[in-house]
Structures are given as C-alpha cells and as structure tokens.
Amino acid sequence: MSESSQDAKCEIAFTVNGQLATVRAYAMERLLDVLRHELGLTGTKEGCGEGECGSCSVLMDGSLVNSCLIPVLQASGANIVTIEGLACDGHLGVLQQTFLEYGGAQCGICTPGMILAAVHLLRKKPCPTLEEIREGLSGNLCRCTGYMQIIEAVAEAGRRGAAT
C-alpha cells in the first residue's frame, strides 16, 4: 500500500527567530504543532485551536497570524517570529518587561500571543493611543487581567520606544 501525497511527510524550510529551520511534516499539519513539538518552541500556546483567542499568535513575514490556522506548508520560505525570538541576548525585551511591571502577564496562556500582537501594533504605530491599542489587541483574549494592565503595558512600551 503506497502513501498518497497527502499522507506523506514533506521537507519544509522556513526561518524561525532568525534561524533556518527545516522540518519533515505533513503539509496540512498546523504551524503551531510544528513550532511546539518539532522545534521545541513552547512559548507559543494553544488556547482554542480555532483562531478565536490569539494565544497562538506569531509573526509570519511581518503579519500577525494565528498559528493554529496555518498549515505548515504555507510557512515554506517564510520568516516566522515567536515569543522566543523577542529576547535580547537572553534578556527580556522592553515589551516583555513592561508586561511584567504592569501585571499584564498572569496565567501566561495569552501572554506570548498578546505580546506579539503588541509588537505588530507598535511596529505600525510606535506611540499608539489607548483606543489604537485596544483595537490592535482585539484579536487576542485574556481571561485573567481585565485588559487594563495589558493596555497600560503596551502604552508604556511605546513610550519607551519598544518599536525601534
């Protein structure tokens, strides 16, 4: 019995956090699962698995995407940034630091995706208004903080020049 092309694993190469990664995976396997299980990048979390909560958010070629909805084949040749890619020589980045300072990180499930959504926002709007922050984070859900701490953390990161 031969495997159909849909059932066979294929070699897929893309860049993750500045490093070339080549994996053998099923074309329709979720990018989320490949990042976590094949590459050991467990900072990206699964919340709903349906693209509704944003916990699995990563940057793909500069766009914010829900990695639970992306077939890994679609990432072929792409530049992916996960939460692990934001550290600066093993130290927290400005945005990560402000999340801690303002209590924007509580249980930790939404935090990586929320921070990547904030990175995406701050790259487009380095000093966003509170309304722009709310809109920029609207695809990410948090059940712990009530959002105000997160919004304040993003605003402070903008004031500190986190987008640069």
Cα–Cα distance, 70 to 90 (Å, whole number):
28
DSSP structural state of residue 17: T
Q: How many other C-beta atoms are found inside a 10 Å radius of the C-beta of residue 88?
A: 9
**Residue range 63-118, pLDDT digits in tens:** 999 999 999 999 999 999 999 999 888 888 899 999 999 999 888 899 999 999 99
**Tens digits of residue pLDDT in 77-87:** 999 999 999 98
Q: What is the CATH number of domain 87-159?
A: 1.10.150.120
Q: What does 126-155 look like in DSSP terms, one character per residue?
A: SS--HHHHHHHTTT---SSS-SHHHHHHHH
Report which of 106, 109, 156 is spatially closest to residue 130, judged by C-alpha positions: 156
Cα gap 76→11, rounded to integer Å: 9
* Domain edges within the chain: 9-85, 87-159
The CATH number of domain 9-85, selected from 3.40.1790.10, 3.10.20.30, 3.40.50.1110, 3.30.420.40: 3.10.20.30
Task: Decide if pLDDT at 5 tops 70.
Answer: no
